[in-house]
A and B are shown apart, each in its own frame.
Chain A
Amino acid sequence: MNQPSAPQVRAIVAGAARTITPTWPLTSFIAVNPASGHLRRSMRELAQVPGETPTRAEHEYLRACRAGQIDLGALRTALLEVVPEFGGAVGSGIGGQGPGGAGVDVAGGGRPVGAVDIAVAALLTPPTGRGTARAEGAGYGGGVGAYGGVVDDALAPVDQYLSHVLARFSADPVWAPPLGEGLYDRFRGLAVHDRSLPRRTRAMLRELPNTAEAAIATVLATHGIGAAERSAAVAAQLAALPGWVSHLAWRAEHEGDVTLTDFVACRLALAHAAGVAVMTSGAGVSVSTGSTAVDDAWVTRTIRHATKDPAHEATPAEHETVARLLAALDAHTRAMIWQTAAETTYRDELIAALEHTDAGPTAEQVLDVQMVFCIDTRSEGLRRQLERHVGVQTYGLAGFFGVPLRYTGLFGQHPREQYPALLRSGYAVTERANDTTEADRVRRQRTLLGALRAATEQVASTPASAFAWAEVFGWGALLADVGRAVRRASRPNRGAGPADGGGAVPAVTLDLRGMPLDDRVVAAEAALRMAGLTRFSPLVVLTGHRTTTVNNLYRAALDCGACGGNPGGANARAAAAICNDPAVRERLAGRGIVVPDTTWFVAIEHETTTDRVTVLDPHLIPASHQELVDQLLAAAAAAGDALTAERRRQLPGADDHTPLRRIRGRATDAAEMYPELGLAGNAAIVIAPRSITRGVDLQRRTFLHDYDPAADPDGSALTNIMTAPLIVAQWINAQYYFSTVNPERHGAGNKTLHNPIGDLGVLAGHTGDLRTGLPWQSVAVGDELLHEPLRLSVLIQAPLDRIAQIVASTDALRALIAGGWISLHARAETHQPWLRVGADGATTDSPTTERNPS
């Protein structure tokens, strides 16, 4: 058998790797759409992919419907959206010439019952047992599917061994494995000497070639896998440890020291050497698409439900007609209809709520301040409360404020990549202290502290000294804990400061020289136009956000996603500095954006765990604006209290009577699994002026991006919004969605089981695959969901032809809409009806939902 050449092997791997989504390490954990590799098909078709599921289990929807969370009218709309045939063809095709051409002659109290009614009845009384989309309880994240991936028992030890070896290579054990040329070479070099492997396995590994491509070719040839099956065989390797593969895909892109070809070679070599078939025929490909034969009992139940006659005896003809209708409703289709219905219900309520906006100031005190927030759903709460308290104008914009940074703090060792993952790079920005003597003093302190930490770490990680260290540290910790308890009792509620530096040196200025003036002007103009901010109040506040939480591996998921999973303060400071720069302002004026001399930009940071805001760079605020800032801060404190009081209702383990102090104490509680709920509940993005949402309680479920067509003469701002923040919002939405509906594959499992591999990811337990996605505690508490999984509903208020043109010319958007990954509704002006926008950009009247016909 002829073996494929090295380039051919690489091409096969690249082809098989197309569906893989890279995942970021925990330190810069940012949302990715776990299904981004499948965007070429529709979301419904995801059900055909082994290990994937596009929806929740059917019984969960039925429960939600019974609880009134899914509207029956919305269910009808969803039915017609998912299976349009019910609106016409199928109905008339089966002979019944009922009203509207879509009827079936099932005599229900003398009047014919329509196909839609029958389908709804069928959805409400689904078949039990076989044919349901997923088994009960499978959604619980307590370590189900513990070995990760598509479980194949013969290969499980291979995958577990591989996972452990990959951990040694990728993380930082005290004793790192010997070096080699690339991952496969290192792996082979390690494995042939690893005495925990059987002798025979080691010998077979030694016989394999030492380059990845040659090894793949050899193993495939040895196992008789011909050209036709090669892609499938390689894909099977990649599907074995999806978590590690996603990490390696990231590493290949960002560090470049590994390739997926290496991984495929490692697994094939190991399976081969372990004497296991490298590809079990049809492994994991059996996907039940629901039985095609329609259950008779279901038909009978449906007819009785539809005719509202519990004793109805259907004629054979009726029975057959209904059975043919129900054949179109297999388990996955039914679940998809329910999912769509849940989204329609939510969207209808959202759109109805938008009718009751309240643009006028209701606050007793009105400050002439404009505040720009991140589009993050958590900003919605603070914006609403602030508007209620001080009547400020608020705007929504991606939280990096258009300034991508590679930010190195005053004492930083490495730049932090503070930009959205869509961008490839940022401007190198550093910091310098105004008072260098003071900075040097603090630097010496920090260096000393770092040396102390390194030294204690060395004592703990040197086995010879670890014996004594356990004694000394243990007794010391015991005494310290007692001391801390006493101190806490005498002085309650003293929170710790931010863990990652900053704040210790008073006046620190960002050094923006890494960003040329031209780029600063372009960035400022783009950001201001995207936010629709072209007339300025005396004070413009840019609000970044951060989380404060301890002992939390997933803290980056609670930080600002637009800033690469980092606190957003640095970006807000940079944007403020740019907008305050006279040179920038002069150029901006030339481009039609006049910032008055009396206007000052201030950066603040919203801490989402405690809802406190802090002013950044307070030393830069001119005396003329100080009073206004102070007034704003006082109001923000009150607004923050109101927001925390609002949030505590949803927090597990808290209720309306929990003191705010206790809620805020979660920020420093090492045992707290629910410091805050992050973006749980996110379901929609509204791209429109704030006036259409102002005064409406959106329950922190919507991303809000401002858009004002008047500020965007050429439509470039809208293009930016629809191709960047919209896409990022979809990633976040998809991450929460799939972490909820498919926690075994796309969730990180139960937090209490997490066993960190350095800072790059976790195992849920002692073995298994690297986990991807969000932990179960981010989306649920026990069996109860905190996050209702809904695909992103996009509402845009902008000129329709502009939207159509952007959709039509953007592949990513077209794919998202065509595949049903998002829904897009638009209108040109306030008070017009919302129209549905299709993948071609054309608008259709969204079918009006009748509310609760029953």
Chain B
Amino acid sequence: MGAVKSRILRGDRGQRRFVVGVNVLTAAAIGLVLAPTMVWAAVAWSAAGAALLTLLAIYPTSRQARDGVVRALRQLAIGDLALWMAVLTMAVQAGHDVTWADLPAVTRSLPAGSSVLVSLLLVVACASRSAQVPLNGWLRTTLAAPTPVSAIMHAGIVNASAFLVFRFGPTITEHTGVLAILAACGAASMLGGSAGYLLRADVKGRLVASTTAQMGVMLVALSVDAWGAALVHLMGHGVYKARRFLRAGEQVDARRRSLATPDAGRFAAPARRIATASAVVLPGLGIIPAAWMVGGSGTLSTVLLAASGWVAAAVLLQGLLTNRGVRRFARNLLVPLVVVASAAWTIAVHAFDALASSDVPAAVHPLPVWVLLVPLLLVGALSALPHLTAGRHPAVYGWAARLAGTPVPRLGSRPRRASAHRTTTSPVQEIA
């Protein structure tokens, strides 16, 4: 991977800075996982943030890059500050640096007010690093850094907050109210990120929006105690997103390929509806028996993972079964294949969960599961909107645009002041 990335930057002015930054970043990420105590974890956390900012500033002559770095610096600094305040508060309380084993005891020894405050600060740190609402703006303005930087960032930096929750679990999950705030941030990010994905026209901008949504679902999963699911998601998403970034140049290939590929079109209404209905039901034929086979309903994580696998398989099957190009022979082959794959997925996540659950601590006071279902249903509704008549209504679209956010500085926020005092800097410069 490293060799690939330095090849991309061959001859580039920023190559040396890139290699150094990536190595520091990797070391910091490993450090975060291996840190024996919370101060070490905080050091690794901040080192990763600093290395990330160095990488984002790889082209200091670019104004876009400068704007992005400054915005990232501001929002990431809030998170780092919060983390350090939390860590120091606990260290002062304990009188020394705290190992993970001692953390529950130290947490319990905190006065009620400080305990809530410390948990809240940790949530702020999570939201900042994972680009969650309301600290999500910085991620959108980081595209003036080279593609490999984006790949590393989306694969290995923004998801670090999951590790923070794992490590500080006893503290963060102590208060249901605090967890609810974490879940609310995550849920809002799921919606905003999904809207961004739907609305953005630039490929990388779409990927950025999708990361915010994906990190949101991860944090909500953490808050309902589906930690195994969060872990699966964290790793899968990392690989997926890095790959999507590094392959952002395939637009033209894809376009040419689609122009040269015959398209048989879709089935008409009645057949189409039947196909859609079967697509929704069929994955269950694999998932339910598989779940039963490996031992009943399983943990919450496995249920969630299996259910999300069901959704993906259903959408995939819907696409295949409504397409005229998938003839009977292929259909007879593909449907069992998807069913078997769904079953395999269910078994795999059960196995993974069994393996991981011994290492992953449990939440103290988790939120009820429906907390995750609410944003999921809302995202589902949002996914359907572009295909509905309502989605063509300008007002609906306008609200979605608001939800999606934009990397563009807010228009007209300062013009009157600028015209009153001609020397005042413009909005763009103010961001810089």
Of A94-102, A136-144, A216-224, the one contacting chain B is A136-144
Chain B 1-39 near chain A by CB (<8 Å), digits 1 or 0: 000110111111110000000000000000000000000
| The residue from B308, B323, B418 contacting A154, defined by CB atoms under 8 A apart | B418
- CB of A367 to closest CB in B, whole Å: 35
- CB of B169 to closest CB in A, whole Å: 22
Q: Does A190 contact B (CB under 8 A)?
A: yes
Q: A175-B198, A470-B214 are in contact. Are A766 and B411 (CB under 8 A)?
A: no
Q: Does B142 contact A (CB under 8 A)?
A: yes
Asked if residues A142 and B397 are in contact (CB atoms below 8 Å), the reply is no
A471 and B232 alpha carbons, distance in the complex (Å): 7
Q: Does A197 contact B (CB under 8 A)?
A: yes
Task: Determine the chain B residues whose CB is within 8 A of the CB of A754 once the complex forms.
Answer: 147, 248-249
Q: A142-B14, A146-B144, A175-B385 are in contact. Are A193 and B394 (CB under 8 A)?
A: yes
Of A106-114, A158-166, A375-383, A828-836, the one contacting chain B is A158-166
Q: Does B204 contact A (CB under 8 A)?
A: yes
A147, A449, A459, most chain B CB atoms within 10 A = A459
| The residue from B202, B316, B327, B386 contacting A444, defined by CB atoms under 8 A apart | B327
A198 and B414 alpha carbons, distance in the complex (Å): 11
Asked if residues A140 and B61 are in contact (CB atoms below 8 Å), the reply is yes
Task: Determine the chain B residues whose CB is within 8 A of the CB of A49 once the complex forms.
Answer: none
Task: Determine the chain A residues whose CB is within 8 A of the CB of B392 once the complex forms.
Answer: 178-179
Question: Which positions 243-299 of chain B face chain A at CB distance < 8 Å?
Answer: 243, 246-264
Asked if residues B197 and A551 are in contact (CB atoms below 8 Å), the reply is no
A475 and B243 alpha carbons, distance in the complex (Å): 12
Asked if residues B7 and A671 are in contact (CB atoms below 8 Å), the reply is yes
Q: A146-B65, A463-B382, A767-B408 are in contact. Are A413 and B258 (CB under 8 A)?
A: yes
Chain B 409-426 near chain A by CB (<8 Å), digits 1 or 0: 111110110110000011
Closest residue of A by beta carbon distance from B142: A766
Asked if residues B261 and A755 are in contact (CB atoms below 8 Å), the reply is no
- CB of B305 to closest CB in A, whole Å: 7
A469 and B317 alpha carbons, distance in the complex (Å): 13
Q: Does A93 contact B (CB under 8 A)?
A: no
Asked if residues A448 and B253 are in contact (CB atoms below 8 Å), the reply is no
| The residue from B10, B62, B386 contacting A175, defined by CB atoms under 8 A apart | B386
Q: How many residues of A contact B (CB 8 A)?
A: 122
Q: A414-B259, A463-B383, A753-B144 are in contact. Are A759 and B252 (CB under 8 A)?
A: yes
Question: Which positions 747-793 of chain A face chain B at CB distance < 8 Å?
Answer: 750-759, 763-768, 781-784
Task: Determine the chain B residues whose CB is within 8 A of the CB of A635 once the complex forms.
Answer: none
Task: Determine the chain B residues whose CB is within 8 A of the CB of A451 once the complex forms.
Answer: 264, 319-320, 323, 325-326
Q: A448-B326, A756-B203 are in contact. Are A174 and B197 (CB under 8 A)?
A: yes
Task: Determine the chain B residues whose CB is within 8 A of the CB of A781 once the complex forms.
Answer: 10-11
Q: Does A591 contact B (CB under 8 A)?
A: no
Asked if residues A153 and B61 are in contact (CB atoms below 8 Å), the reply is no
Asked if residues B411 and A197 are in contact (CB atoms below 8 Å), the reply is yes
A175 and B393 alpha carbons, distance in the complex (Å): 12
A196 and B399 alpha carbons, distance in the complex (Å): 8
Task: Determine the chain A residues whose CB is within 8 A of the CB of B264 once the complex forms.
Answer: 447, 451
A454 and B394 alpha carbons, distance in the complex (Å): 28
Task: Determine the chain A residues whose CB is within 8 A of the CB of B193 once the complex forms.
Answer: 463
A113 and B59 alpha carbons, distance in the complex (Å): 48
A170 and B330 alpha carbons, distance in the complex (Å): 36
- CB of B152 to closest CB in A, whole Å: 13
Task: Determine the chain B residues whose CB is within 8 A of the CB of A276 once the complex forms.
Answer: 412, 415
Task: Determine the chain A residues whose CB is within 8 A of the CB of B330 once the complex forms.
Answer: 448
A841 and B201 alpha carbons, distance in the complex (Å): 51
A298 and B36 alpha carbons, distance in the complex (Å): 67
A461 and B194 alpha carbons, distance in the complex (Å): 9
Asked if residues A158 and B14 are in contact (CB atoms below 8 Å), the reply is no
Asked if residues B258 and A468 are in contact (CB atoms below 8 Å), the reply is no
Asked if residues A174 and B198 are in contact (CB atoms below 8 Å), the reply is yes
- CB of A678 to closest CB in B, whole Å: 15
Of B117-125, B175-183, B233-241, the one contacting chain A is B233-241
Chain B 301-344 near chain A by CB (<8 Å), digits 1 or 0: 00001001101101111111001011100100000000000000
A459 and B197 alpha carbons, distance in the complex (Å): 13
Asked if residues B411 and A274 are in contact (CB atoms below 8 Å), the reply is yes
- CB of A199 to closest CB in B, whole Å: 10
Task: Determine the chain B residues whose CB is within 8 A of the CB of A751 once the complex forms.
Answer: 249
Asked if residues A275 and B416 are in contact (CB atoms below 8 Å), the reply is yes
Task: Determine the chain A residues whose CB is within 8 A of the CB of B235 once the complex forms.
Answer: 474-475
Q: Does A550 contact B (CB under 8 A)?
A: yes
A468 and B346 alpha carbons, distance in the complex (Å): 12
Q: Does A27 contact B (CB under 8 A)?
A: yes
Task: Determine the chain A residues whose CB is within 8 A of the CB of B197 once the complex forms.
Answer: 174, 461, 463, 466
Q: Does A455 contact B (CB under 8 A)?
A: yes
Asked if residues A467 and B308 are in contact (CB atoms below 8 Å), the reply is yes
A845 and B280 alpha carbons, distance in the complex (Å): 82
Q: Does A423 contact B (CB under 8 A)?
A: no
Of A310-318, A520-528, A552-560, A706-714, the one contacting chain B is A552-560
Q: Does B93 contact A (CB under 8 A)?
A: no
- CB of B94 to closest CB in A, whole Å: 38
Tell me the dominant secondary structure on chain B's binding face: helix
Task: Determine the chain B residues whose CB is within 8 A of the CB of A555 once the complex forms.
Answer: 252-253
Asked if residues B237 and A755 are in contact (CB atoms below 8 Å), the reply is no
Q: A463-B382, A551-B253, A759-B252 are in contact. Are A171 and B13 (CB under 8 A)?
A: no
| The residue from B10, B141, B142 contacting A653, defined by CB atoms under 8 A apart | B10
Asked if residues B65 and A175 are in contact (CB atoms below 8 Å), the reply is no
| The residue from B62, B238, B376, B411 contacting A765, defined by CB atoms under 8 A apart | B62
A143 and B60 alpha carbons, distance in the complex (Å): 9
Asked if residues A758 and B251 are in contact (CB atoms below 8 Å), the reply is yes
A466 and B400 alpha carbons, distance in the complex (Å): 18
Closest residue of B by beta carbon distance from A159: B408
- CB of A164 to closest CB in B, whole Å: 6
Chain B 132-164 near chain A by CB (<8 Å), digits 1 or 0: 000000001111111110000000000000000
Asked if residues A477 and B198 are in contact (CB atoms below 8 Å), the reply is no
Asked if residues A471 and B236 are in contact (CB atoms below 8 Å), the reply is yes
Closest residue of B by beta carbon distance from A466: B210
Q: A411-B262, A447-B261 are in contact. Are A671 and B246 (CB under 8 A)?
A: yes
| The residue from A411, A756, A759, A782 contacting B12, defined by CB atoms under 8 A apart | A782
- CB of B367 to closest CB in A, whole Å: 18
Q: Does B99 contact A (CB under 8 A)?
A: no
Chain B 182-219 near chain A by CB (<8 Å), digits 1 or 0: 00000000000110011111111110101001100100
Question: Which positions 105-162 of chain A face chain B at CB distance < 8 Å?
Answer: 137, 140, 142-144, 146-147, 153-154, 156-158, 160-161
Asked if residues A673 and B412 are in contact (CB atoms below 8 Å), the reply is no
Asked if residues B380 and A464 are in contact (CB atoms below 8 Å), the reply is yes
20 contacts between A and B (CB under 8 A): A144-B62, A147-B64, A147-B428, A157-B427, A175-B385, A175-B400, A275-B415, A458-B315, A458-B318, A458-B319, A462-B383, A465-B314, A466-B197, A467-B214, A470-B233, A473-B240, A477-B240, A551-B249, A763-B143, A766-B208
> Can you add 14 more A-B contacts, CB < 8 Å, to A174-B197, A471-B305?
A144-B61, A156-B409, A157-B426, A173-B206, A200-B412, A412-B259, A413-B260, A455-B320, A459-B319, A465-B383, A466-B197, A470-B240, A653-B7, A757-B203
